[in-house]
Amino acid sequence: MDDAEGELGQLAIVFNETLARLERSFTELRRFTADASHELRTPLTAIRSVGEVGLRTRRDEAAYREINGSMLEKTDRLAQLVDSLLLLCRADGGPPALHLAPVDLGRLAQEAAAKLEVLAEEKHQILTTEALGPVAVDADRVVLHQALMNLLDNAIKHSPGGAHVRVVVRERAETPVVEVIDTGPGIAPEHREAIFRRFYRIDPARSREAGDAGLGLCIARCAVEVHGGEIELETEAGQGSTFRIVLPRRGC
Ligand code: ADP
């Protein structure tokens, strides 16, 4: 084989690989668009039908208010979903420009817990944050906050009424970790990896009814991975779950 033939062969391989990669991206994009459209359609249909039913007969002011409230609530869900989709699309475009600064994980955990306290109270749950000493990381506070909020929101959502939901900040062999510990149903082995995929829900019918799109963990993992960290999961069916954010040490 002379040099020209060898080079041509190499070129053909590169060309085929590029084509295959492009095809994979298109398939992925098609799937994402189909899933996203499907998710957007559900709340839109709900808003439309609430509006239509409201207009069917004459009602008193209180009934109109209730209909209005229901439509606004569904619009909020829709807006949240669009925000999540935008976040994922931006992440797909490559790693976001992070605004790194020293972040005290204990304080970050307290802020997230304070924001979600009202959800825990509704279920008469006790929400505590424990920081075993000051633990600082170099991170983008907004991005990391999002990850923690998603994990904590899930912990509250899946734990029974009156349960204790804990956020523990500590160092494991000098590595900063934040643990979100719940006493929910736990996650069966066959779902443990899949729950981090976009639009994956263990019980799709129930989740859809609650307005959950199966994006929370995918976003949380993305937010942690752009920091060079990872999310570990320890769980046992019937025993609850611990989602652990593990981050690089400062300066690493
Ligand atoms: P969503 O945003 O719809 O809550 P997630 O991506 O956060 O979706 O979670 C995916 C699936 O993982 C959910 O449908 C839920 O069944 C399961 N899951 C997430 N967190 C927990 C948890 N702490 N305990 C039990 N199941 C959970």
**Which residue out of 195, 224, 231, 233 has the highest number of ligand 1 atoms within 8 Å of its CB and is therefore the one to mutate?**
195
Minimal CA–CA distance to 156: which of 108, 112, 105, 206?
Answer: 112
Per-residue pLDDT of 124-164, as tens digits, reads 999 999 998 899 999 999 889 989 999 999 999 999 999 99
User: How big is the CA angle at 191 (ends 78 and 26), to the nearest 5 degrees?
Assistant: 60
CA 45 to ligand 1 centroid distance, Å? 24
* Atom 21 of ligand 1: nearest residue by CA position: 154
Please name the residues in contact with 47: beta carbons below 8 A apart, sequence gap of 6 or more. Answer: 71, 74, 75, 78
- Answer whether 146's CB lies under 8 Å from 220's CB: yes
The answer, yes or no, to whether residue 1 has pLDDT greater than 60, is: no
- Give residue 75's identity as a one-letter amino acid code: T
When the pLDDT of each residue in the chain is averaged and rounded to a whole number, the result is 89
Per-residue pLDDT of 182-210, as tens digits, reads 999 999 999 999 999 988 988 877 776 67
Position with higher pLDDT, 164 vs 42: 164
* Atom 13 of ligand 1: nearest residue by CA position: 201
Q: What is the pTM of this model?
A: 0.79
What the chain holds in terms of domains, given with CATH numbers, is: 2-92 (1.10.287.130), 101-246 (3.30.565.10)
What is the torsional sign of CA 31, 75, 219, 125? negative
- Quote the pLDDT of residue 96: 66
Please name the residues in contact with 29: beta carbons below 8 A apart, sequence gap of 6 or more. Answer: none
Position with higher pLDDT, 69 vs 1: 69
Work out which ligand 1 atom sits closest to the CA atom of 180.
23
Strand partners, 244: 179, 232
Angle, to 10 degrees, between the axis of helix 216-225 and the axis of helix 141-158?
Answer: 150
Alpha helices by DSSP H, listed for 93-176, are 105-122, 141-158
Q: Which residues sit with their C-beta closer than 6 Å to ligand 1?
A: 150, 154-155, 158, 182, 184-185, 187, 195, 200-203, 207, 212-218, 241
